[in-house]
Structure 1
Amino acid sequence: MTYLSKTRVSDQGDGTFANPILHADYSDPDAIRVGEDFYMTASSFGHIPGLPILHSKDLINWRLIHHAIPHMPLPGYDKPQHGNGVWAPSIRFHDGMFWIFYGDPDVGIFMTKASEPAGEWSEIHLVHEGKGLIDACPFWDDDGQAYLVHAYAHSRSGIKHRLRVRRMSPDGRRLLDEGVVVIDDPERHPTIEGPKMYKRGDYYYIFAPAGGVEEGWQTVLRARHPFGPYEDRIVLKQGNSPVNGPHQGAWIELASGESWFMHFQHKDAYGRIVHLQPMTWMDDDWPSMGEDADGDGIGEPVLRAPKPNVGNRYPIETPATDDGFDQERLGLQWQWQANPESGWYSLAERSGWLRLYSRRSPESASSLYQAPYLLLQKFPALSFQAGVRLDGTGLREGDSAGLIVFGYSYAALILAFNENGNAELRLLEGDTEKQAIAWKLETSAPELSLRVLVEPGAMCTFQYSFDGMHYESVARPPFQATVSKWVGAKVGLFAQADREVGGYADFDDFTVTDVPR
């Protein structure tokens, strides 16, 4: 079923689109065309399920169709792994199969593959062990030889500003040599990372961002041999546009001959949102991206452009955010903070409702930041409101459940039962190390509606209603949402037990709409 956001839509309906194409934290995106279809993936770090798979017919209208990692098989993922896990994946189609490679900064380079992107993906395979090996991209040459280019995480390896190309077995399962460092130029291209390797004509190209996520630029390297020597050119930067740090993504060539470049923009609490730039190849075989507004030979991001020429028109759609909890599975937009356990939730116990069973935090946790059972999704727009119906009848003494905006700092509007067995509506605020009740209101109603209004700048106002129509704002200043480790703020649900487990909370109709004016 086609889903259309009630907040922000890129497709303008007149043959043009507005950037970003996704105002959501699909960090480090990579995309490919296979026939008439486009597929995208992105970093998922420690969130589960991981490695999102999105599909489009025109590069503008996207649907989240699957995750390649439903359960992380590595040790430690019973607890949150903030900032660890899946970094900067690359998706490719080769030999009739879809392939994804990514670097785990603490383990090494992994690969998974599938015959159908919405089907079952193979369990992740460790291609090459090594601490600090990240941002891996495979490349299969015309002569059957295979290569892999990757970057380094300075925090794990002590190496920075460097890209390396290595030979790889054609089956993608192992690297064959130490390869060659193809660029190490900290003066001109500091923090170069996220490489993507392509071939066009007589040249091998490596598209790679440099300069850091907030203020960086897009660099392109080219050579006549996979191992170089490579020459380089900056092809995209912010310039006079409002789009900071435009870099890291994918070159996609259409059947019509058009070229496009997908990249992210780091936008504070909203995370790394996704843009699409028109791209042309110049007579000298260098790419030109966006618009060269100041004539310096380097492109700048455009905010609006004609849609890609894919030879047809397709329905306008966006990744889903709403969930009526009336299906057999949770909506694909939801992710947990760790590998979920079967006892965390049920969609069958109460038809049309999500039941979250109250869970206890790990013994070492001093705040919800280390709680694995938070059910979260990405911020979908600059401004929006997210609401849900909560029935707390099943909560026990010491239990709490509610709606949370999550990051390094978080706030949650919760229904809780105190030591006297009385219900209280509370605003809980916390960070990575502590939390405290910032506001509370006694109530006798165990069923109510909760919502949060997120306005530009990610300023959040929590509200509640006992009749589902008339809302009151919590008497506190707006909460400033923040990023977490490498990811934007998220919004979602949870149920927690401070004492004995066994209680539960039921949620109905999680909806995301425009902020009322």
Structure 2
Amino acid sequence: MELVAEASMYRNPIIDADVPDPDAIRVGDRFYLVASSFHRAPGLPIFASNDLVTWERIGYALERNEPAAWFALPRHGGGVWAPSIRHHDGRFVVVYPDPDQGVFVVTAEDAAGPWSAPHLLLPGLGIIDPCPLWDDDGAAYLVHGWARSRAGRKNVLTVVPVDAGLRHPAGSAVDVIDGDALEGFTTLEGPKFYKRDGAYWIFAPAGGVATGWQTVFRSDTPYGPYEHRVVLAQGESPVNGPHQGAWVDDGAGGDWFLHFQDRGVYGRVLHLQPMAWGDDGWPLMGAAVDGGPAQPVLAHRSPRGRLQGARTLARSDDFAQGRPGIHWQWEADPDPGVVLGTGPGLALRGGCDGGSIRTLPTVLSQALPGQPCTAAVDITWDAAAPGGRAGLAVLGRAYAWAGLRRTAEGVEAVVAVRGADEQHERVVAAVPLSEPRVHVAVAVDAQARVRVQLTTAQGIIDVDPGFHAVEGHWVGASLSLFAAGRYGAEETIARFERFTVDVRNE
């Protein structure tokens, strides 16, 4: 009986990797989740689950960021911020903000795609975190927050009437909740709009991504006035935040709340909390469901009693048909000619190298697992002039990379690092090679310390670059493949084979 009970439990985080700003819904017996993608492409990753615990990426709602000319280079911190996902009139609907442009809408009959081209619903700077609500009388509304960096205001939630097709506003915007008027509230954002038992509900975090709490607001009308209650906070748990997420019913009488926790270098990892509605009509979350404090749980009975699957997003890839698998995203909108599409492995044309991997468009990334891991890949190239390079990086605001570099004297296996405030990379190790081929293995331990092993025709070399991985701009660190060459030189064409990632769950 004890083994059966243990098998029916899940552990948090259910995805111990970067899943920023999640929103989720149930359609029939399946659950669907969308997350922010910021500057990366394809964007708006879509995940599906049969039990709310184990999730698999099934596609993307956005092929590339627009305008293409702007996003041809990495725009760290820009692009797609917190989206929402709904199912209405037989179609999946994702509403997302670009804080430098406005609020967009994409739709699809199947969550795996294809998705429509983006439609600009609400233009404006700093309009973020939108979520629609279709009312019983056919009216539709959009709630959103504000980014001070673009709009000059924040800590305010606004409701805009919109047409049912989400094509245009249908009236004037109304500020419905002013966080400055609530004691202790700062950075009120990430709202999700619901209706239950005739009341309008806005679930929204406040207090900051890494230090805040989850608040629920209730009103008899979409425009307020709203009363509120804090329903989930860190308390004595190790789960800082807990930040924005989604209320989902499981179709069998149960309610659940998905939210993220900011784990720094590992990004915004995904948690699942039990939820119930109290006798007073307000939601209970986390340990409060079983009579404890309103704080996150680290383990709980699984919604559907199934064994928990993989808790990470990183996946090995043999690059079938010479192309990257679904788990990779580019650091900028990709040029269609970057991937040659011919095996063996992945042949990648190098981008113009300005000296920093963070500025390269031809970089493929997967989220760094939140547990100790080792990523490895074979690297060679079809062509490279002096200055050409290709490698595997642990990429954030600072980075370390290992791979091949061509110099005027020949080919080297290289390990290099660059700090967030450093102007140039520092080469930690450089080994002359008799042939342009190296097997790179990068290990990241529980303290995010990076170690490298190079296997060449001459032997095995272990390198400690003295580097700890760090997060990127609004995103966790990533495992990234890249190729680059000097401006005006013969192009670099690098080839990556047998990418593997092994995660040690703890």
Query: Aligning the two structures, in what range does the TM-score lie when normalised by the shorter sequence?
Result: over 0.9
Change (3 A) 1:143 1:250: same
Tell me if the contact between 2:389 and 2:492 (Cα under 8 Å) persists in the aligned partners: no
Whether 2:485 is the aligned partner of 1:497: answer yes
Query: Between Structure 1 and Structure 2, how many residues are aligned?
Result: 496
Whether 2:408 is the aligned partner of 1:439: answer no
Whether 2:202 is the aligned partner of 1:214: answer no
How far, CA to CA, are the matches of 1:58 and 1:108 in structure 2?
34
How far, CA to CA, are the matches of 1:31 and 1:467 in structure 2?
49
Larger displacement relative to structure 2 (506-515 or 480-489): 506-515
How far, CA to CA, are the matches of 2:5 and 2:96 in structure 1?
34
Whether 2:116 is the aligned partner of 1:116: answer no
Whether 2:392 is the aligned partner of 1:400: answer no
Q: Structure 1 residue 146: deviation in Å?
A: 0.2
Q: Which residue in 2 is equivalent to 1:335? A: 329
Q: Which residue in 1 is equivalent to 2:96? A: 102
Tell me if the contact between 1:136 and 1:151 (Cα under 8 Å) persists in the aligned partners: yes
Extract unaligned runs of 5+ from structure 2: none
- The correspondence of residues 144-155 of structure 1 with structure 2, limited to 5 A, is 144-155=138-149
Query: Taking structure 2 as the reference length, what is the TM-score of the superposition?
Result: 0.93
Q: Structure 1 residue 483: deviation in Å?
A: 1.0
Whether 2:351 is the aligned partner of 1:355: answer no
Change (3 A) 1:19 1:12: farther
Q: Which residue in 2 is equivalent to 1:65? A: 58
Q: Structure 1 residue 451: deviation in Å?
A: 1.1
Q: Which residue in 2 is equivalent to 1:459? A: 449
Aligned amino acid, residue 175 of structure 2? V
Q: Structure 1 residue 467: deviation in Å?
A: 6.5
> Equivalent residue of 2:131, what SS?
strand
Q: Which residue in 2 is equivalent to 1:308? A: 303
Change (3 A) 1:406 1:60: same
Aligned amino acid, residue 300 of structure 1? Q
Aligned amino acid, residue 141 of structure 1? D
Whether 2:413 is the aligned partner of 1:425: answer yes
Tell me if the contact between 2:276 and 2:289 (Cα under 8 Å) persists in the aligned partners: no
Q: Which residue in 2 is equivalent to 1:450? A: 440
Q: Quote the sequence identity (%).
A: 43
Tell me if the contact between 1:12 and 1:18 (Cα under 8 Å) persists in the aligned partners: no
Q: Structure 1 residue 357: deviation in Å?
A: 1.8
How far, CA to CA, are the matches of 1:236 and 1:317 in structure 2?
26
Q: Structure 1 residue 260: deviation in Å?
A: 0.3
Tell me if the contact between 1:101 and 1:110 (Cα under 8 Å) persists in the aligned partners: yes
Q: Structure 1 residue 435: deviation in Å?
A: 2.3
Superposition CA RMSD, Å: 2.2
Q: Which residue in 1 is equivalent to 2:476? A: 488
Tell me if the contact between 1:391 and 1:448 (Cα under 8 Å) persists in the aligned partners: yes
- The correspondence of residues 258-407 of structure 1 with structure 2, limited to 5 A, is 258-292=254-288, 299-309=294-304, 313=306, 316=309, 319=313, 321-327=315-321, 329-348=323-342, 350-351=343-344, 353-361=345-353, 365-392=354-381, 394-407=383-396
Aligned amino acid, residue 362 of structure 2? Y
Q: Structure 1 residue 143: deviation in Å?
A: 0.8
Change (3 A) 1:431 1:344: farther
Change (3 A) 1:200 1:85: same
How far, CA to CA, are the matches of 2:191 and 2:162 in structure 1?
16
Change (3 A) 1:328 1:200: farther
Query: Taking structure 1 as the reference length, what is the TM-score of the superposition?
Result: 0.91
Change (3 A) 1:502 1:262: same
Q: Structure 1 residue 402: deviation in Å?
A: 0.9
> Equivalent residue of 2:190, what SS?
coil
Q: Which residue in 2 is equivalent to 1:167? A: 161
Tell me if the contact between 1:250 and 1:261 (Cα under 8 Å) persists in the aligned partners: yes
How far, CA to CA, are the matches of 2:382 and 2:125 in structure 1?
48
Q: Structure 1 residue 374: deviation in Å?
A: 0.9
Q: Which residue in 2 is equivalent to 1:51? A: 44
Change (3 A) 1:369 1:328: closer
How far, CA to CA, are the matches of 2:490 and 2:328 in structure 1?
23
Tell me if the contact between 1:261 and 1:276 (Cα under 8 Å) persists in the aligned partners: yes
Aligned amino acid, residue 449 of structure 1? H
Tell me if the contact between 1:400 and 1:495 (Cα under 8 Å) persists in the aligned partners: yes
Q: Which runs of 4+ in 1 moved over 4 A?
A: 312-315, 317-320
Q: Structure 1 residue 358: deviation in Å?
A: 2.4
Q: Structure 1 residue 208: deviation in Å?
A: 0.1
Change (3 A) 1:385 1:32: same
How far, CA to CA, are the matches of 1:171 and 1:471 in structure 2?
60
How far, CA to CA, are the matches of 1:437 and 1:150 in structure 2?
46
How far, CA to CA, are the matches of 2:346 and 2:274 in structure 1?
43
Q: Structure 1 residue 516: deviation in Å?
A: 12
Q: Structure 1 residue 242: deviation in Å?
A: 0.5
How far, CA to CA, are the matches of 1:36 and 1:327 in structure 2?
33
Deviations 1:402-437 (A, max 9, x none): 1111111011112111112x1111122224543232
Aligned amino acid, residue 307 of structure 1? S
> Equivalent residue of 1:291, what SS?
helix
How far, CA to CA, are the matches of 2:284 and 2:505 in structure 1?
41
Q: Structure 1 residue 247: deviation in Å?
A: 1.9
